[in-house]
Every structure is written in structure tokens, then in C-alpha cells.
Amino acid sequence: MKTISIINLKGGVGKTISAINIAHVLAKVHGERVLLIDNDKQGNVSKFFGLHGDDVDGMAELMTQRGIDPQGLIKSTAYSGLDVITANMHLLNANKEVLLDMSRPQQTRLSKALQIVAGDYGYCVIDNAPDINMSVINALVASHNVLVPIKVDKFAFDGLRQLAEQIEDMREFNPALSLRGCFVTMKTLYSVNTQGVEWLESTDYPLFKTSIRKTTKVDETTFAGVPLLEYAKNSTAAQDYVKLVAEYLAG
């Protein structure tokens, strides 16, 4: 099982929508079995699929309970080959609890749990909070690749260097971890997007050729709770996610 972390330390960049649609494209277009992990206390992935609840066990329990069976935390979705481990506000306290629990390793709890289910899935996609907390550190330690969605604006590149440094630090626990690439989301025809892409191309950060174009269909899917390929398969963003996943797999 290959594990992909979707992360940006800045909010509002289309991180959750990207995680959902990348996971769905892997399942629908490429026939993969995909485990999508909600690793954000806001629980937006969980809410999208109608799986959110204060009494639903998920990432918080996986991080804190000894000997927990991750199989029991996995929830099915309405889409073939796509399952979810949920999150809720309990993850906030779980992150604090992990920091205080010195009786067992703190950084490898997720990776050990994923080893148990690795044979059941081709890919695991993790939607991470815009933060560096213990559950995000666990996600990086468990991941092979990091993908960074970027919305081009004045603050677009804040935290990118810090994130790259964190990825480098996590290689102490996970030498296989790599920053696979950044990709632009909510792309428009305005010159700021061109300037942003040019800036990224001038840096050492890897950049996918595929960008995700801005469309109202993306916002509509958050209300409908339906991935883009199911809701509006001919929309620009739906086709862009298909191309992005193809570019990722070809690399």
C-alpha cells in the first residue's frame, strides 16, 4: 500500500477537496482500493461522506488506544473501493494525550496501524490538518509521498519552507518520505496565477504540470457530498483531478 499525505500549513487551499477527489479518482478511474483518512479535528472528510459524529470512533482512538484494531475503525462509503477512517474534535485532545504518553513511541502509531490493513488497499490518502501536531507527524512518518495543494495569493507560499523542513526531519523516522510535488488549486486566468506558477518553477520545490481550475462545481460538491467525477464529470476541475492523478502515477 502506498500512502499519500495531502498537506499545506495554510488553510483554504482546497486540501480536503483534493484529498477526496484524488482518492476517488484512484478508486473509480484506476480500480484501486483506497483508504481515505481524515486527520483533521474539523472532520470535513467525514462530514462530506455523512460519516461524522461525536460518538464515531476514528483517528483519535487509533492514536490513543493500545492494541486497537484499525479494521474496526474503517467505514464504507457509497463509492466502490473507497473507505474512510473518520475524525472529530476528539482528535484535539488525542494529540495532547499522545504528547503526554511517554510509555510507547509517539511518532509511529499510525504507521503501525496501517501495516495491519496494508494488504487490503492499494493506496491510502491522508487529509491532514494545516498544522504540525502529533497526528500530522504520525501521518508523515506513515507516508511515502507528500502532495501540497497551493492556492495562489499573497500568502500562498507561507509555511512551504517550514513544511519542507518538517518533511526532511521526519526522514529520521521514515527515510522513504518524499515531497512528491506541489499543485496549484483554484486556478484562474488572472496574472497572479501565472506569476505564482513562475515563482514555484524558479524554486527547488517540485511542481506538477497539472493545475486544478476554479469552478463553482467544487463548492457545490461540498453541499451535495458527492465527488466531482460523480457530480459533474465533465467539469474542468473533475478532469483536472483525473489528469493530476495520472501525472502522479506516471511519475
pLDDT in tens, 193-249: 788 788 888 888 999 999 999 999 999 999 999 999 999 999 999 999 999 999 999
Mean pLDDT of 114-123: 98
Q: What is the structure's pLDDT at 60?
A: 98
Which residue's entry shows cell 474503517? 74
Q: What is the structure's pLDDT at 191?
A: 74
* CATH superfamily ID and name for 2-250: P-loop containing nucleotide triphosphate hydrolases (3.40.50.300)
Examine the pLDDT at 63 and tell me if it is beyond 90: yes
- What does the alpha-carbon distance between residue 182 and residue 229 come to, in Å, rounded to a whole number? 22
Mean pLDDT of 143-159: 88
- What does the alpha-carbon distance between residue 224 and residue 212 come to, in Å, rounded to a whole number? 20
Q: What is the structure's pLDDT at 42?
A: 97
Q: What is the structure's pLDDT at 188?
A: 84
Q: What is the structure's pLDDT at 213?
A: 95
Handedness of CA 125, 126, 130, 136 (dihedral sign): negative
Q: What is the structure's pLDDT at 139?
A: 98
Q: What percent of the chain has pLDDT over 90?
A: 85
Structural contact between residues 205 and 166, judged by C-beta atoms closer than 8 angstroms: no
User: Can you tell me whether residue 51 is helix, strand or coil?
Assistant: coil
Largest CA distance in the chain: 53
Any idea where the domains of the chain sit in the sequence? 2-250
Q: What's 103's DSSP letter?
A: S
Question: What cell does 118 get?
Answer: 496494508
Question: What cell does 42 get?
Answer: 474539523
Examine the pLDDT at 56 and tell me if it is beyond 90: yes
Instruction: Give me the half-sphere count of Cα atoms (radius 13 Å) on the Cβ side of residue 69.
Output: 2
Q: What is the structure's pLDDT at 194?
A: 81
